[in-house]
Amino acid sequence: MQTKLDQLLNAVESLNLAEGRTETSIPFFSLLRRNRPTAIIPGVLTPSFCLILQGSKKLHLGQDTIYYTAGDYLVSLIDIPASGQVVGATRQTPYIGLRIDVTAEEIASVMTDTGISVMPLDRKLGPGAYVGKSDEHLLQLFLRLLELRGKSETEIRFLSSLIKREMIFRLLTGEYGHLFVQRVFMNQQNEGIGRAIEWIKENYNRTLSIEEVARSSKMSVSGLHHKFKAVTTMAPLQYQKQLRLQEARRLMLNGSANATAAALEVGYESPAQFNREYRRLFGLPPLQDIRAFHRKPIPEAFEIS
């Protein structure tokens, strides 16, 4: 497998990636390069399959810390608040990661077409994400995606979708497939949580009550509290607060708003409350945090791949 991993790494290095995230002509496929370790960046881990080719990374998920390195992949099937940090990277041997965005519908389609069924849920299963070891099949599929570079738009669109479906199949049937399938099952069992997450994302910038969120998810308040925290590691209104603060930070980083305007844009009525909660999440008051971002070589956004 090491030979295949080296082959894939050589193929990526031949692209001469700039530092940061590089999008490709394949909408669901992106690459990331970091030349040095980064700070811990809070954000939301979205449904994805991320492979490390070189270097190492930490993911802080609730009370858990997940460490993964070259040859490892990280899978998440639901939006989860988390913090990512590149810990192994130098200019000579930069961190390089590949990311595939996935959807629940794509996974369900592969399971239906192949007849793969879910299994009883392991009650000890942790929330959200897991790490597995890549194999020859998965690495070869990434190589095939890279080989589409320069092909026609029609060829890219058709072949990349087939490759993605095979990736999902390999994740479902490989050595760590039971972890993947059980998380699919967990998501099916907690369908209301998915509705609640989407509703909070659509309404994050207005004042919400837990009763409203419960109605949107067709769940009881107590059931929502219990299951939401089990899946995302936090309560629904804490989740909303994180979305607000992350969006405010994004607005300030791209220069489209100062701290006061950003606070109002994301739904805060009190600048003082915004400053307190911002500092609690990011470690610095808004102005100092944004200045630090412009001084230090750290990511401008939450990065998982």
Same domain, 129 and 165: yes
Same domain, 28 and 84: yes
Q: How many CB atoms lie within 10 A of CB 66?
A: 18
The reply to whether 305 falls in a domain is no
Q: For the chain, what's the residue count?
A: 305
pLDDT at 185: 66
Same domain, 153 and 250: no
Q: For each of the chain's 305 residues, which pLDDT tens digit applies? A: 568 999 999 999 999 999 999 999 999 999 999 999 988 777 788 889 999 999 999 988 877 888 999 999 999 887 887 888 999 999 999 999 999 999 888 988 998 899 887 665 554 445 567 889 999 999 999 999 999 998 999 999 999 999 999 999 999 888 878 777 777 766 666 678 888 988 998 999 999 999 999 999 888 999 888 888 877 878 999 999 988 998 898 899 888 789 999 999 999 999 999 999 999 988 899 999 888 877 654 454 445 55
The reply to whether 209 falls in a domain is yes
Give which of 118, 134, 210, 217 is closest to 170, Cα–Cα: 134
Q: In what order do the strands lie in the sheet with 29-34?
A: 20-23, 29-34, 95-101, 48-54, 72-76, 129-133
Helix (H) or strand (E) holding 52: strand 48-54
The reply to whether 304 falls in a domain is no
Same domain, 93 and 204: no
The reply to whether 276 falls in a domain is yes
pLDDT at 262: 94
The reply to whether 303 falls in a domain is no
The reply to whether 301 falls in a domain is no
Same domain, 19 and 167: yes
Task: Give the count of domains, the chain.
Answer: 2
Same domain, 167 and 217: no
Which of 137, 155, 188 corresponds to the end of one domain? Answer: 188
pLDDT at 301: 45
Which of 188, 219, 244 corresponds to the end of one domain? Answer: 188
Same domain, 58 and 170: yes
Same domain, 161 and 201: no
Which of 154, 188, 222 corresponds to the end of one domain? Answer: 188
Same domain, 170 and 217: no
Same domain, 93 and 160: yes
- Locate 9 and state its tokens: 């790494």
User: Are the beta carbons of 133 and 191 closer than 8 angstroms?
Assistant: no
pLDDT at 126: 54
CATH number at residue 241: 1.10.10.60
pLDDT at 298: 47
pLDDT at 152: 95
Same domain, 181 and 224: no
CATH number at residue 147: 2.60.120.280
- Domain, as residue range, for 252: 192-295
- Report if pTM > 0.85: no
Same domain, 181 and 200: no
